Every structure is written in C-alpha cells, then in structure tokens.
Amino acid sequence: MIDISAVAKHSGLPASTLRFYEEKGLIRSVGRRGLRRLFAPNVLERLALIALGRSAGFSLDEIGRMTGTDGSPKIDRELLSDKADELDQSIRKLRAMRDGLRHAAVCSAPSHLECPKFRRLMGLAVAGAKDGNTKRKAVRAKRIRKEMPARNKTRGLKL
Amino acid sequence: MIDISAVAKHSGLPASTLRFYEEKGLIRSVGRRGLRRLFAPNVLERLALIALGRSAGFSLDEIGRMTGTDGSPKIDRELLSDKADELDQSIRKLRAMRDGLRHAAVCSAPSHLECPKFRRLMGLAVAGAKDGNTKRKAVRAKRIRKEMPARNKTRGLKL
DNA sequence: CTACAACTTCAAGTTCACTTTAGGTCAAGG
DNA sequence: CCTTGACCTAAAGTGAACTTGAAGTTGTAG
C-alpha cells in the first residue's frame, strides 16, 4: 500500500495524471488513509502497461477496453492481431520516414521533392495509406518538464 | 491551376482542412478566381509530404518549421538526424508492442502480466523511455468517415 | 496540540488538429 | 438576368489527454 506521491515518484507521472487515470478507470486505488488514496504496488506495472499501450498509439479508451481494471489484458485476440498488423504498417512508414530523413540530412538536392531517392522513400511511406484512410503515428521529443501536449490524426492521402 | 475541390478530390482531404493548412502556412494558394482559391498542381506533392510527416509523428508546427512554404525541405540537418534517431527509438518500441500483441493473441496465461515473455517484451518497450521523458507515438484505425480524433502524449515512465 | 505540507474534489483551462456554423459572395448554367 | 450551389471568412465548437486553480481536509513533524 503506497500513496500517490510514491506512485508519482516511481512512475514519473504527476499525481494529477494518476487521479485522472483513476477517474477514467485505468487504474484503481485500493483504499484510503483519511482522504488520501492508497495504491497497491502493482499499480506500477499497470502504469507500465498503460505507458506501453500509449507509446504504441492506443488511446486511453482503447487501453481501458483492452485491459480489465484488474490489470490483466483480457483482450479479444482478433483485436490484438489487428492491432499488431496496424503496428506493422506503422513501423514500415516510420522506417521510410526515418530513411527519408537520414537521406535528406546528407543529400543536397535543390529541393528534396526533386530528388528521386527522396521521392521513392516518400512513396513508400504513403503506400499503405493507400485505398483507405488508415493509421496514425507520432513521436514527441523530450521536453524538460513543462512540456506541451501534442496531437495527431492522419487521414490517408488518396494520392 | 486547380481549385480547392480538385485538390480535395485528389488528396482526399476536406476543403476545410486545406483552408486550415493554408492558414497555418503549410500550403499556399497561388491566386484567386474571384474569391476562390487556385492551387498549383504541385500542392498535392506538398500535401503528400505533410501527410508523410504527420504519419511519422511530426506536429503541423514541426512540419511547417522543417519545410519552407515553397515546399522544399529546407531543414537543419542536425534536426533531421535527431528526428531519425527518435524514429528509430519509436520503431523499436512499436516492434516490441507488436510482438507483445502477437504473443498475447496466442498465449493463454491467466494474466499477461505474469507471463515472462510478455513481461520481457514490455520491458523492451519501456526501455528507451528510460531516464528522461521522451517520445510519443500513435496509430489510429480506419474510420468510415465521421471519424473521431485521437491524441497522444507519452511521458516516459521512470519505471 | 497546532501548524502546514500534502493531499482532496470539482470546475475550468490548455493544446492540437480540425470541423462546424452562420452569414456572405459570385461564376456559371438556364 | 436571375438563381443557385460551390466557394468564401471569422468565430465558435469538438475530443483527447491532461493541467491548473480554488477551496477545503488531514496525517505528521515539532
């Protein structure tokens, strides 16, 4: 039984976020000492699971749906492999983007849009968004505390 | 010189988004016929570039900073490789997540949190968020029009 | 026992990336 | 010439994920 500040300390998350997560049903406090929440130590694992899901692009709601309040992924197996497939797509696009950036960092074409290599990389990345609208993906750089939020949503380009 | 509806049609983006992008300085219309915007056909390439950036997790502001209004990545090379490195991190995490999901889809441990394989995968994904707060990443599933937005931000778990 | 730092709740505020709405303009077809 | 539908602008609204603020409570160090 640890209190919110200990959870905050160990997880790196501000207490406000922990309260927010509890309100959303993502974590649970197992009791109170006075007004103060008490958490079971395993909340840290649950938070790690949440962080993992978030970092893979799941929304808090999706994570909530996928994992019981208890903490165990009680997930629909089909949903799981669908998500895995989506991640595969995402990984492909990320790789194309990464290669594109690495190339852009060394290639000195007047406009990268005219560089055939860049264009090919771009095409690669866009492929997969083909036909339907699809996935989205994001990376945020480190901020020294006081970071600002960021958002994303991608409509697939029909191109 | 194509009008906004043609751009919308070819890009798959709603006109409102195109106006919004123009307002943000991400694209430019090259003139007007009456009130109506006219775009150069190459705006489609620019939109593809924007889509690519978004799908790799850059915010519109970052994309704006990275690419001139003209359309050519006029980017600081150091920033570029930093971003590429971040993408590498992201890819690693995505892969771990994907493997975790694939495993979870077949493994029938009572709780995945108790499955050593899952825990190892989880550890992998969390590693890299180590030490500092770090990146963020996201994937969105296809929606049949009327899709709802989704957002992400990940504070690294200190674990 | 009292002060007070640390917790609590609830409401409102913030950012991002758009979308929606209200009210107006105008080029083209009949 | 007149209607009309596609376009325009400006402002407000939306959803996700938090954060901040105000005002109240309380475990604990002194």
For residues B126 and B130, give the distance between their C-alpha atoms in angstroms, rounded to a whole number: 7
Which bases along strand C come within 7 Å of a protein CB atom? 6-9, 14-21, 24-28
Q: What is the pLDDT of residue B10?
A: 94
- Tokens encoding B144: 């049949």
B38: nearest Cα among B47, B46, B29, B50: B29
Over residues A27-45, the pLDDT tens digits come to: 999 999 999 999 999 999 8
Give how far A131 is from chain B: nearest CA, Å.
Answer: 10
Q: In the structure, how far is the CA atom of residue B46 from the C1' atom of nucleotide C19, in angstroms?
A: 22
With a cut of 90, say whether residue A134 has pLDDT above it.
no
Q: What is the pLDDT of residue B157?
A: 58
The answer to whether the Cβ–Cβ distance between A56 and B132 falls below 8 Å is no
User: Is the C-beta atom of A143 closer than 7 angstroms to strand D?
Assistant: no
Q: Tell me if B63 sits within 8 A of B53, measured CB to CB.
A: yes
Per DSSP, the three-state class of A111 is coil
Which bases along strand D come within 7 Å of a protein CB atom? 6-9, 14-21, 24-27
Q: What is the pLDDT of residue B57?
A: 78
With a cut of 60, say whether residue A153 has pLDDT above it.
no
For residues B65 and B95, give the distance between their C-alpha atoms in angstroms, rounded to a whole number: 29
- The number of beta carbons lying within 10 Å of the beta carbon of residue A92 is 15
Query: pTM value?
Result: 0.75
Q: What is the DSSP string of B30-92?
A: -EEETTEEEE-TTHHHHHHHHHHHHHTT--HHHHHHHB-TTSSB---HHHHHHHHHHHHHHHH
Q: Which nucleotide is nearest to B153 (CA to C1')?
A: D17
Q: What is the pLDDT of residue A70?
A: 47
Give the contacts of A3 (CB within 8 A, at least 6 positions apart).
A33, A36, A37, A38, A39
Q: What is chain B's pLDDT, residue by residue, as a tens digit (159 residues)? A: 999 999 999 999 999 999 999 999 999 999 999 999 999 999 998 998 898 888 777 899 988 887 764 444 555 677 677 778 878 887 887 888 788 778 877 776 666 666 777 777 766 655 544 333 333 333 333 332 333 333 344 455 565
- Percent of chain A clearing pLDDT 90 (strictly above): 30
Alpha helix ranges (H) inside A107-128:
116-126
Q: What is the pLDDT of residue B143?
A: 32
